[in-house]
Structure 1
Amino acid sequence: MPRPTLPLLATLALLAGCVTPDQPPQGYATLPPDSVQGAGDPTRSAVIGTSYAFGNPSSLAGNPAAAARAVANYEYLATELPYGPRWRGFNGPIGPLFTDGLNELRPAIGIAPNAQAQPVVQSLYAASRAINAGDQAAAERVLSNPAFPAGGAATLQRLSNLPNLPRVAAATAFAAQELDRQDRLGSPRGQGGGGGGGGGGRP
């Protein structure tokens, strides 16, 4: 049997490096019940909301509560869209796009690079609730944990002054376009409830 040539070995190595792992490195996450109003679909709401928020960064300026929710939703989508069976109809490199955006987002907020997604989502939603209730101290406390090594006060300051995040914006815009495409095609994977906040139909 002939031995593989060097170009073939190089190609196989590249392909192996492009294989998406079975599970997200930061673990799966779910969204809390208050991530969406009424009986809406949490994942669809997160896709549409993050696409608008990060595509229009001025909408988050000086609004750490809204920014915290947007960041939490992105963290969730980075675990759900590339890995949830419900979204396999999405075209294109959804996984690499969201990973690239996550590598831009986490340093901007001060989220630990090895933090698991679920505690990040929970902490950011809790902080958003506290801010909306007028309890700044509580917001700082919930963000004073290992996932946010800069501390609560510094994290809130960053959420109040988010920089432009072009890779995050590109990932969320692509997700919104794919969701719209599936809706227009009548794809059942892009419609209805039963996903998102409850785990997106993962096995």
Structure 2
Amino acid sequence: MRPALATLAVTALLAGACTPSPPPEYVNLPVSAERAGLGDPTRGAILASSYAFGTPSSLAGDPAAAAQALAQLEYLTVELGFGGPWRDMQPLVSVELRQARAETRQALGFRGDAPPQVAVNALYDAAAALRRNDRAAAGTALAALAPQGGPDAALARLSDLPPLPRAASATARARDALNRRDNDRNQRERFF
């Protein structure tokens, strides 16, 4: 009987290992976001979001800046989590960013199951509309992401962000990892 259980257990493990994993998330920045900064947009998102969430007073009463910082967090959660040119970042960075994304979505009443690209587009579109003083367009942009309470509630939350300690911690960790990565590369270049 025991060999049969062992065989069954091994078969179950192998079957689980052969189950396809879900497709990885993907996200692209809108063209307007890529043009907004100089150089690498991922580096820019790391630096800008770590400043924004590390200095909440910079976002107070500025829903456009809050929407942009949240869009950057959404982007970084995916971009730093799936290899590519950023695969040498510390693995804990992507874990903390996912936790921060969950924190921000819950705190703002955003859909937890929204695809990252939907979130990035909605938040960047809302930020652009708010900079044009077009609250109606900003609300329309957020509608797919914030069905609870409607666009007005989402805009009010963006104007008065609640404390987001995980977002501050995760983006600071991403900035520190970026700095370490740069320092390591600079040291390697000096020796070669």
Instruction: Give the match's secondary structure for 1:89.
Output: coil
RMSD: 2.3
Are 1:108 and 2:107 matched, yes or no? Answer: yes
How many angstroms does 1:22 deviate by? 7.3
Q: Which runs of 5+ in 1 are unaligned?
A: 4-12, 188-203
Question: What displacement does 1:30 show?
Answer: 1.1
How many matched pairs?
169
- Structure 1 residues 122-166: Cα deviation after superposition (integer angstroms, max 9, x where no partner): 111111111111111111122122x21122111111111111111
Runs of 4+ in structure 1 over 6 Å off: none
Q: What residue number does 2:44 align with?
A: 45
Report which stretch shifted further, 120-129 or 31-40: 31-40
Residue in 1 that maps onto 2:190:
none
TM-score scaled by structure 2?
A: 0.80
Counterpart for residue 155 of structure 1: 154
CA-to-aligned-CA distance 1:69-114 (integer Å, 9 cap, x gap): 0001100111110113211211241222111111211011211011
> How far off is 1:34 after superposition?
2.0
Q: 1:168 corresponds to which residue? A: 167
**Mapped contact 1:78–1:98 kept (Cα < 8 A):** yes
**CA distance in 2 between partners of 1:129 and 1:118 (Å):** 16
1:87 counterpart letter in structure 2? W
Q: Is the 8 A contact 1:75 1:117 kept in 2?
A: yes
Post-superposition CA distance 1:36-90 (Å, at most 9, x none): 4354211000000110000111110100000000001100111110113211211
Task: Specify the structure having the higher radius of gyration (Cα).
Answer: 2
For the residue of structure 2 that corresponds to 1:174, the secondary structure is helix
Structure 2 gap segments, 5+ residues each? 4-12, 187-192
CA contact (8 A) 2:37 2:44 kept: no
Higher relative contact order (CA 8 A, sep 6+): 1
> CA 1:124–1:176 in structure 2 vs 1: closer, same or farther (change >3 Å)?
same
CA distance in 1, matches of 2:132, 2:79: 29
1:184 Cα deviation after fit: 1.2
Distance 1:130 1:154 in 2: 16
Equivalent in the alignment of 1:143: 142
Q: Which residue of 1 aligns with 2:28?
A: 30
